[in-house]
Structure 1
């Protein structure tokens, strides 16, 4: 199987890092109640969640200092202060890393140049072809850079799509056929938006990523709602994903992912069935059908 070319670049402006930081902090503060963090609650609140002064108290910083951070000015603050805010907001490790990237991008990267298009190394495609489980590789924009025949059998024939449509987020939010392969498409959409948000924080100057987010926001009401939640995620690593297949019905696959070293960030996604399970039998049937000669 030959390697697959990633979509070409389009020219748009990058994400507004300062706006992203403000909205992320406000969304995390809004999900906490005073009683959640041991603070008394006085009277009715106009908006949900902790007030700025309450969050500043929990973090051990002045109100003015925290207010400046929530206005998008985090570049002059120490990592220790940002960690204190992360603890006060009860951020997950993924959310904490996302906060640091938004607040102090200059610490995360030594270059401000837009990231180049991603291409899959031929050796990675050879690896995909050699694996005995469904597998595919994605780039930072969730472009599907390469896959094997078993992935085609499970998720659909991506080779039939134009290169610009071979993108996980675009398929999940804009393709009813792709969504139908998942028994819980909303959960899949939620995780996909979270991964896209995390990747956007890592590459705020990526104009193609910004263009993708803008397109999804215009075409998908579900994406607009999920994007407004500012969730970040690494995906379903180690979790079970239920597939709804038109030929073999529903079966479960365990998703594992690993980073591919060597240049721009890429991830190898694999899906395997529990040994001896009905899901393994379903996967075996799909593999045998995929290997049959085409007429």
Structure 2
């Protein structure tokens, strides 16, 4: 985690030009962006103190110092939480530190999934898919996967079919890696997460490239364009809600604009129209169903 903290801070100062921070440029720069001395100046801390922080030796950094560094580096809210997590890996994160993780769902959550008239599923830690409703299964084919393979990051980066399923694959990949990086910051000692990151790093050039940039982002809301092998082009929005009492479990609901072609497809599926009956060979074209063995 010492290395992660240093790499994260270096990646964030590299994206800020001195002129953007109101500083005068001087001398030859060996690295892009701000120097350590300039970050220290903007944060109002000594250069030596900031260097110790980048080296992972700032375990006793106060909230005021971490907040000042976050402001100097123009961190987003998600990146600020990540900074706290990396600087204090044994505790002291910003509000709502996750509680004890459970990979099983309350019965009420399963009832809620079935009551939602839209594709909906529950994500757990490490982007494991824990449960889904019938519409989500029709869209993503979760039930056709072995339990151990129901992981969105693995299917996205290791399944060749994912690039066809998600026309905006690069965007989805960046969001996925950013969310996984956030999880890694909050849970640095999770052995299963470390194994997942190691596997993705070994087997996916794209994952290594994105991961090296240290993206950090919560999964909150956005758009998801899908090219389904049977249903055609589906243009969804999505909303992500943390489940009360289970902050590591997220309810993800796909939405469609009323009157849109995607809304019409969902209406047909809900009504039991044959469009929702996938051919036997269509499951293999869904992400995750052709992931090669580890």
TM (norm. structure 1) is: 0.87
Looking at structure 2, the residues matched to 294 and 280 of structure 1 have their Cα atoms a distance apart, in angstroms, of 22
1:227 and 2:205 matched: no
2:70–2:80 Cα contact (<8 Å) kept = yes
Offset from partner CA, 1:15-41 (integer Å, 9 cap, x none): xx2111111011101111111101111
1:143–1:168 Cα contact (<8 Å) kept = yes
Q: 1:208 to 1:64 in 2, by over 3 A?
A: same
Partner of 2:171: 187
Gaps of 5+ in 1: 1-16
Partner of 2:127: 142
Offset from partner CA, 1:147-167 (integer Å, 9 cap, x none): 111112212x22121111100
Instruction: Return the offset for 1:125.
Output: 1.6
Partner of 1:247: 230
Partner of 1:10: none
2:121 alignment partner, SS class: strand
2:231–2:275 Cα contact (<8 Å) kept = no
Offset from partner CA, 1:207-265 (integer Å, 9 cap, x none): 10010000000000000000000010113x33222111222322311100000122461
1:167 and 2:151 matched: yes
Q: 1:264 to 1:254 in 2, by over 3 A?
A: closer
Q: 2:52 aligns with which of 68, 73, 79?
A: 68
Instruction: Return the offset for 1:107.
Output: 1.4
Looking at structure 1, the residues matched to 247 and 77 of structure 2 have their Cα atoms a distance apart, in angstroms, of 22
Higher relative contact order (CA 8 A, sep 6+): 1
1:79 and 2:63 matched: yes
1:203 and 2:192 matched: no
1:267 and 2:250 matched: yes
Looking at structure 2, the residues matched to 41 and 273 of structure 1 have their Cα atoms a distance apart, in angstroms, of 49
Offset from partner CA, 1:140-198 (integer Å, 9 cap, x none): 2110000111112212x221211111001001101122442212011100000000000
Instruction: Return the offset for 1:99.
Output: 0.2
TM (norm. structure 2) is: 0.87
1:45 alignment partner, SS class: coil
Q: 1:229 to 1:293 in 2, by over 3 A?
A: closer
1:154 and 2:134 matched: no
Q: 2:240 aligns with which of 246, 257, 268?
A: 257
1:205 alignment partner, SS class: coil
RMSD between aligned residues: 2.1
Q: 1:278 aligns with which of 252, 258, 261?
A: 261
Instruction: Return the offset for 1:91.
Output: 0.3
Gaps of 5+ in 2: 281-294
Q: 2:34 aligns with which of 30, 35, 50?
A: 50
1:154–1:286 Cα contact (<8 Å) kept = no
2:165 alignment partner, SS class: coil
